[in-house]
Amino acid sequence: MHSLFEIQHLSYAYHTMQGETAALSDITFTVNTGDFIAIVGPSGCGKSTLLNLLAGMLTPESGTLLLNGIPLTADSRCHIGYMLQQDYLLEWRSIWKNVLLGLEIRHEVTEESCSYAKQLLKQYGLEKFSHSKPSQLSGGMRQRAALVRTLVLKPDLLLLDEPFSALDYQTRLSVSNDIGSIIQKEKKTAILVTHDLSEAVSMADRVIVLSSRPARVKSILQIQFAETALTPFERRNMPEFKEYFNLLWKELNEHG
């Protein structure tokens, strides 16, 4: 049995007219099916670069990426869903048409995929807004619509790059709770980049702490609550929550 995703000795540098910027140094970790991994690290350390490499949008300088045991190629991209801070919903399309966009690009608009899209919209409280334009939705609803657009493609792996950071605090709490619960319920494998430690502890079962640039893996913290199957919101009220938060805080603020 191999893991879903093997990241081995991954390094990356940007080359520009001004010179070289080393972004990642010797990153190694494993993603198993059903994992929810959070990646935290100082701003500018290379987190988005790492996700872009995992999504196959950048090519590693050195190191190996194995998805289902096979080196990552452009083809494997269709098994990966990517969600960013901005929702990138197209303003001139209805929510329904936005949700179908990926399926259209892949020529996969079928009766079956449409009915799955409808089911997801209903499940996540967006059914009534199918015919609305994105501008008519709140920030939280837009982010949920972006998630439905990603889920409808049935990705094996979800990559989330600070997907809640454009939202205000209240909305952020509720949307991260919704999205965390959705991912749990759909039994998806996910990697979430966040600078919010409480978000990491409330959602993930493993947190990878990166050093400042060039990012290396400083430590990996296993998150385990005595009670299982808690929602992110419920986790925030458990005694372990504060312990993990403090551990991560210490880890991030330690030099070296």
**Residue ranges that bind Mg ion, judged by CB under 5 A:** 48
Residues between 164 and 223 that touch ligand ADP (CB under 6 A): 213
Q: Which stretch binds ligand ADP (CB under 6 A): 3-11, 16-24, 129-137, 217-225?
A: 16-24
Residues between 28 and 67 that touch ligand ADP (CB under 6 A): 41, 43-49
Q: How far apart are CA 251 and CA 110, in angstroms?
A: 48
Q: Any contact of residue 16 with ligand ADP (CB under 6 A)?
A: yes
DSSP conformation letters of 43-110: TTSSHHHHHHHHTTSS--SEEEEEETTEE--GGGGGGEEEE-SS----TTS-HHHHHHHHHHHTT---
Contact 23, 9 (CB under 8 A): no
Contact 73, 117 (CB under 8 A): no
Tokens read off for 97:
């048409």
Q: CB of residue 160 vs ligand ADP: minimum separation in angstroms?
A: 13
Reported as type and span, the H/E element at residue 150 is: helix 139-151
Q: CB of residue 192 vs ligand ADP: minimum separation in angstroms?
A: 13
Q: CB of residue 39 vs Mg ion: minimum separation in angstroms?
A: 10
Give the one entry of Mg ion, ligand ADP, none that residue 135 binds, where binding means its C-beta sits below a cut-off of 5 to 8 angstroms depending on kind: none
Query: Smaller CB distance to ligand ADP: residue 20 or 227?
Result: 20
Query: Smaller CB distance to Mg ion: residue 120 or 163?
Result: 163
